Structure 1
């Protein structure tokens, strides 16, 4: 382990200032997140329609349980939109806590997308249903992965540097 020493020459030494935190336009961030959620939900709904109309197959969607009485398709579409809103929250946390927020965000959402695309193959179902569900999950993930970083670029501004301290 190497120790570094600085020489004191009578002048006060100021520690290098860390960059100021970025300024986030929250209204535009969550507006973009809501728009992304709408697009993701529509992509999921179109995927359900294509699976049924073109392939005469069903996506592997959650079953209706309990008080909601919502269909599996409705829950699937709502889940896609909710996933985009959760991704918006992840983007906000990355901006607030990490030095390269969009890089970390891309890795996190990319890996979640891959996991969701592979997930249908972990249950016993017809291969066509597994393939269509995997592609639908991939499409929803790619929507989120391509739209939200653009929202991030347009809503994140560098912070204003703090004024230098006055020496008396």
Structure 2
């Protein structure tokens, strides 16, 4: 039976944006992230993180650095009794032409194939239009764009909902 999933971008949705974040000491959670994820779980959603990580291809940090931070991140959720089903990332640069870097749908399609996800019942919460484009290209129409500190051009966005933070997502995602 297909599952319903909340796909979360990492930087700007789960944590405050820091250019090429790869150090635990620089990681700061967005207020309300844990409460939002608890509400998603209560509604029967699985949670998957999908994140562009071009800092790997650019040589700013290694795949190992990324994995260390990701394991720590997932452990922080576990401590709050929140299971993250998976964390999928694209390590490529924007010029690599891969199918996984958002706005391409590769990470979403990989997750759909691996976990039998019902994309029509799933959601994407991102902070950039490329997050929304990737979700739509993979068959997800339920999309939220959070500003989390930066300006959003609502007129040219394809997102269905606009929020200032993930903290407000329970006003939109009801079941």
Which TM class, normalised by the smaller chain length? under 0.3
Normalised TM-score (structure 1): 0.27
Relative to its length, the structure with more strand (as a share) is 2
Normalised TM-score (structure 2): 0.26
Higher relative contact order (CA 8 A, sep 6+): 1
